[in-house]
Chain A
Amino acid sequence: QSVLTQPPSVSGAPGQRVTISCTGSSSNIGAGYDVHWYQQLPGTAPKLLIYANTNRPSGVPDRFSGSKSGTSASLAITGLQAEDEADYYCQSYDSSLSGSAVFGGGTKLTVL
């Protein structure tokens, strides 16, 4: 059971917009800790996609965006492409775990 809750799967057709939610609690996201998002393509290491809730590292397309409100965060992907098919993870920190890093269970994005 992950500390952060994500839907197990989402799907969308090429060109569409999808969102992935990440729900936490008052001891992690709601406590003010930033949320980060990672993309994991099949058979590869995770890659930083969004950091500090809304920021994209250099090289990440602006089709990817993040937001945070209260005890939740979301990742939005617009203009879906086949290469976006991957697992997506949110990450934050938790004060009830002495500030340890915590992850969502991951969401499998399928491009139809």
Chain B
Amino acid sequence: EVQLVESEGGLVQPGGSLRLSCAASGFTFSDHYMDWVRQAPGEGLEWVGRIRDKANSYTTQYAASVKGRFTISRDDSKNSLFLQMNSLKTEDTAVYYCARVGRNSGSYRWGQGTLVTVSS
């Protein structure tokens, strides 16, 4: 069974930094692209970014709203995904989901999510 477990989020001041992690199990982590998706309170889903697999040189792609501030990385030896968030803004307040990208379909399997609150 696919399991994705995000680390605890938290409260961060504007301009601050936070690193999220996602522990994967139940599938061959190294074979999959991995995404981060977020959901602001009471809002819809917003794609944050993607990291591809080793065969695709671990290339990354980001939404315009986070490019230059967020960095996605992975450690295939530890079945782990990371999201480094810098220069956080109040509008980054959201539940952040780790998601496995289906190899053939491009659909998502989701983690349980973790709340990040950016506020002074």
Contact = CB atoms under 8 A, between A and B. Distances in A.
Interface of A: 2, 33-34, 36, 38, 44-48, 51-52, 55, 89, 91, 93, 98-106
A106 B63 contact: no
Given A45-B112, A93-B106, 16 more contacts: A34-B106, A36-B105, A36-B106, A36-B108, A45-B110, A45-B111, A45-B113, A46-B110, A47-B110, A55-B105, A89-B44, A91-B45, A91-B107, A99-B61, A101-B47, A106-B45
B63 A100 contact: yes
B74 to A, nearest CB: 17
B24 to A, nearest CB: 15
B2 to A, nearest CB: 10
Name the residue among B44, B107, B108, B110 with the largest chain A CB count within 10 angstroms.
Answer: B107
B19 interface: no
30 contacts: A2-B44, A33-B106, A34-B105, A34-B106, A36-B107, A38-B108, A38-B110, A44-B112, A45-B97, A45-B112, A45-B113, A46-B45, A46-B110, A47-B110, A48-B109, A48-B110, A51-B107, A52-B107, A89-B44, A91-B107, A93-B106, A98-B61, A99-B61, A100-B50, A100-B63, A101-B35, A101-B47, A102-B47, A104-B44, A106-B44
